Amino acid sequence: MKERRAQKRAKKYFAINIVAIENGGKAARFDNIRTNPKFYDESGIDFSPEGLKIMCSKPLPPESKIQMKLLIPDEDSLNLIRADGTIKWFRQIKGKHGKYFLIGVHFRELRKEDKEKIFRLWRKYKE
């Protein structure tokens, strides 16, 4: 398969909180759910300045727009990055502990300071 990414992904595990999702005119927010506020806490597997891959407990449809908070550690601190993205693909995986989903996200919007953080971290962790 031909590589379509302009930049190589940095392989680094990190925490992601999906704050909101919009698909087909329907929107849902997860940051104000009192009964289970961690429902959409997921794991990042890799990232670049253009996007990331998420290991997710629920399927999220391609072309959905999502708002996320990424928490990427380095030796000095935990780096909080707020990002808006579009889901480009997802794939179901069956493992020994059940099924999960891999999801590819392309960044749509990042504030200037978040772009700088993710670029700095990407340069540090890319292979």
Asked if residue 5 is part of any domain, the answer here is no
Mean pLDDT by 10 residues, the chain (127 residues): 67 91 84 56 93 90 93 91 95 87 95 96 89
- Is the residue at 2 inside a domain? no
pLDDT number for residue 59:
84
Q: Residue 70 falls within a domain, yes or no?
A: yes
pLDDT at 114: 97
Domain assignment present for residue 87? The answer is yes
pLDDT at 24: 87
Q: Is residue 1 part of a domain?
A: no
CATH number at residue 53: 2.40.10.220
Tokens in use for 38? 């961690």
Q: What is the 3-state secondary structure (H, E, C) of the chain?
A: CCCCCCCCCEEEEEEEEEEEEEECCEEEECCCCCCCCCCCEEEEEEECCCEEEEEECCCCCCCCEEEEEEEEECCCCEEEEEEEEEEEEEEEEEECCEEEEEEEEEEEEECHHHHHHHHHHHHHHCC
pLDDT at 13: 92
Domain of 26, in residue numbers: 10-125
Phi-psi region of 24 (alpha: psi -120 to 50; beta: other; left: phi over 0): left
Domain assignment of residue 71, yes or no: yes
Residue 48, in any domain of the structure: yes
| 25 within some domain | yes
